[in-house]
Amino acid sequence: MNYLSLIVLLPVLSFILLIVFGKKLGDKSAYLSILAVGTAFALSVKALLDAMGGAHADLSFTWLTIGNLKLTFGLLLDPLAAMMLVVVTFVSLLVQLFSVGYMHGDKRYGWFYACLSMFTASMLLLVFSSNFVQMYMAWEGVGLFSYLLIGFWFEKRSASDAAKKAFMVTRVGDLGFGIGLIILFITAGTLDMGQVFAMKFAPETASLIAILFFCGAIGKSAQFPLHVWLPDAMEGPTPVSALIHAATMVAAGVYLVARAYPLFEQGPAAMEFVAIIGTITAFMAATIALTATDIKKILAYSTVSQLGYMMMGLGVGAFAAGTFHLMNHAFFKALLFLGAGSVIHAVHSQEIFDMGGLSRKMKITSLTFVIGGLALAGIPPFSGFWSKDEILLGAFESGHTAIFAIGLLTALFTAFYTFRLIFVVFFGKPRGHHADHVHESPAVMAVPLMLLAALALTSGLLGSPFMGNAYQSFILGGHGEAEHHINYMVMGLSIGVAVLGIFGAWLKYSTSLLPSNVMSKNNIIYQLLVNKYYIDEIYEFTLVKPTHAIARYVLTFDQRVIDGAVNGVAWVISRIGGGLKYLQTGYAQNYVLVMVISVVVLIIWSFRAIQLF
């Protein structure tokens, strides 16, 4: 099973080589990175096949022993990990291919690929972790490279600000994760996943640890109330947004919840908490997306919303559905982001009202984008439908009627904002300055789009109840029930709201049938949404401003008192030295005289010591 470690080590190797030789390689650095991640992808597929065959690898070695704490470093391969491996390596591969075209001519090309490689390695290590400490380390590694990539164009003030914001906001959640780890270690005495999951905890303890873990997930997966960093993170290059902030890293939080699911199941309160946070996030982000006008921001809020769906699914007990949505979402959201990247590459703007009628000039991009949009909106047989339906079904069947209702409403909004985007960007009249020289992107960018579109079209079928729920029985690994009967009522509702949303968007943005005062911009709700529920402003006033005020006082104290003391000592000494320097006359005879006087004084003093005087 040695090839498992290769999956992680290949991108690391690529990172090291690119760090050392990146400048020399220049444009060729992409091939090195792509070769590494491509091989890792092939090995991941082999791992997936092995996992299907029932292989359950857990290779580990002890790398640190502190007292009775043994920290191991291990690779855990189970169906969940295998699924994530394939998703991560595949999306990473396509994104790196896409970036060959998108990042062409950037002056830090080698560094870009180095970061992508190391990000992939961290993510794979996270997925592979067999104990929580290792996972935490990989978690931080992922955060670091996310920071570096968001701030990739750090010359731009907004990019470096966004990177800092992402890093600090996720750190708030990571703090919870860290505390959870400590409590888990105190109560369980081990951090090895296998051992932890085999234990029985009191419901309160399990809930506490699980909620603390979930805090980490809230930060990383951009759940309410820590979702504010993700839309800003769109300052990074678009392929980065696709890889990190849509498909893989933000899924790490969901993966953590899925990974620690045995722990969550023992704490009913934690499950409720996850479900409620997920629902709030899904609804809120979807409503904000209704009014956003930046193509990447719309997709970012859509990502937040879909992550909320996954959390909702996990929270209501639909484990398979939540992870299934994770996989499907990774494919279609990567597709949408890369499509957006292709559009931005052509139009040189991110404002959707600067675009229009692109379908005529960018056939491949618009076709694949529409496929992604259909998958996101939840139209069968596209992938999003099957998993979203499963989640809603899970909520319905577990008796969470309110969550189910909000989920349906969110699905309506999702369909609406997705097709608002599609109708405005790809159909209608051309707008903006660059409308004339819009062109289709090169093949190296188009091929990943097509591959992803194919997956967005088909990956859902794996988990379709009409296909025997193949995904569910795989991910549950044989144990646990996989027989979901088909609920046509839920399915019908789900399709109904999706179609309604698309129809609404068509009515509003593609025709002039509606009078313009419908959904006017001058009401409170619109203002609330366009300002993202004022959450950034609330943080600004409750956290940032007071912190700044305190910092200013501390700064004054530092400058006046501490620096004053230090400089004062230096000033006094320099004054003393300034006075004493006049003793240095430079005349050798003065110095000799001082020596003679000293000798006389010393002799007298020594005579006193032996009482000669």
Partner 1 sequence: MNDIISHVIFFALAILAVSSAVLVVTGRNLFHAAMFLGLYLLSIAGYYFLLKADLVGMMQVFVYVGGVVVVLLFGIMLTAQLTNVRLTSALEQRWVTIVSLVSLVGLLVFVAKDTVFKVSQLSPVEDTTSFIGKMFMTDYILPFEVISVLLLAALIGAVIIAREEGGK
Partner 2 sequence: MIPLSYYLILSGVLFAIGMAGVLLRRNAVAVLLSVEIMLNSANLNLVAFSRYIAPEQASGQMFALFVMAIGAAEVAVGLALILMIYRNLQSVNLDQFNIFKW
CB of 580 to partner 1, least distance (A): 20
Cβ neighbours of residue 287 under 8 Å, at least 6 residues apart?
A: 413, 529
Out of 49, 562, 565, 604, point to the residue binding partner 1 (CB under 8 A).
Answer: 604
Burial of 598 (0-12, 13-18, 19+ CB in 10 A): exposed
Stretch that binds partner 2, among 59-67, 194-202, 283-291, 583-591 (CB under 8 A): 583-591
CB of 596 to partner 2, least distance (A): 6
Stretch that binds partner 1, among 80-88, 250-258, 445-453, 595-603 (CB under 8 A): 595-603
- Under DSSP, the state recorded for 478 is T
Chain positions 562 to 591 lying near partner 1, rule: CB under 8 A, are 587, 589-590
Q: Report if residue 609 touches partner 1, rule: CB under 8 A.
A: no
Q: With CB cut-offs between 5 and 8 Å by kind, which of partner 1, partner 2, none does residue 584 bind? A: partner 2
Binning the chain into helix, strand and coil, the percentages to the nearest 5 are: 80, 5, 20
Q: Report if residue 604 touches partner 2, rule: CB under 8 A.
A: no
CB of 597 to partner 2, least distance (A): 11
Q: Report if residue 1 touches partner 1, rule: CB under 8 A.
A: no
Burial of 326 (0-12, 13-18, 19+ CB in 10 A): buried
Chain positions 311 to 330 lying near partner 2, rule: CB under 8 A, are none
Q: Which is nearer to partner 2, 541 or 591 (CB)?
A: 591
Out of 521, 524, 581, 611, point to the residue binding partner 2 (CB under 8 A).
Answer: 581
Contact between 326 and 401 under an 8 Å Cβ cutoff? The reply is no
The amino acid occupying position 611 is Q
Cα–Cα distance measured from residue 294 to residue 153, given in angstroms and rounded to the nearest whole number = 19
Q: Which is nearer to partner 1, 512 or 589 (CB)?
A: 589
CB of 609 to partner 1, least distance (A): 14
Give Cα separations from 550 to 539, 547, 557 (angstroms): 16, 5, 11
CB of 108 to partner 2, least distance (A): 53
Contact between 14 and 37 under an 8 Å Cβ cutoff? The reply is yes
Q: Which is nearer to partner 1, 571 or 605 (CB)?
A: 605
DSSP letter string over 255-294?
HHHHHTHHHHHT-HHHHHHHHHHHHHHHHHHHHHHHH--B
DSSP letter string over 204-260?
HHHHHHHHHHHHHHHHHTT-TTSTTHHHHGGGS-HHHHHIIIIISHHHHHHHHHHHT
Contact between 326 and 251 under an 8 Å Cβ cutoff? The reply is yes
Nearest partner of 328 among 318, 340, 320, 316, judged by Cα: 320
Q: Which is nearer to partner 2, 554 or 599 (CB)?
A: 599
Quote the tokens at residue 348. Answer: 């040189």
> Which residue reads 């229009």 in tokens?
356
Out of 516, 520, 589, 611, point to the residue binding partner 2 (CB under 8 A).
Answer: 589
Q: Report if residue 202 touches partner 1, rule: CB under 8 A.
A: no
Out of 53, 105, 478, 586, point to the residue binding partner 2 (CB under 8 A).
Answer: 586
Q: Report if residue 612 touches partner 2, rule: CB under 8 A.
A: no
Q: Which is nearer to partner 2, 516 or 589 (CB)?
A: 589
Nearest partner of 87 among 145, 37, 26, 53, judged by Cα: 37
Q: With CB cut-offs between 5 and 8 Å by kind, which of partner 2, partner 1, none does residue 582 bind? A: partner 2
Q: Report if residue 592 touches partner 2, rule: CB under 8 A.
A: yes
Q: Report if residue 611 touches partner 2, rule: CB under 8 A.
A: no
Q: With CB cut-offs between 5 and 8 Å by kind, which of partner 2, partner 1, none does residue 597 bind? A: partner 1
The three-state secondary structure class of 62 is strand
Stretch that binds partner 1, among 38-46, 498-506, 572-580, 597-605 (CB under 8 A): 597-605
Q: Which is nearer to partner 1, 168 or 593 (CB)?
A: 593
Q: Report if residue 195 touches partner 1, rule: CB under 8 A.
A: no
Out of 353, 553, 593, 605, point to the residue binding partner 1 (CB under 8 A).
Answer: 593
Q: Which is nearer to partner 1, 569 or 593 (CB)?
A: 593
Q: Which helix (H) or strand (E) holds 149?
A: helix 132-150
Site residues (vs partner 1, CB under 8 A)? 587, 589-590, 593, 596-597, 599-600, 603-604, 607
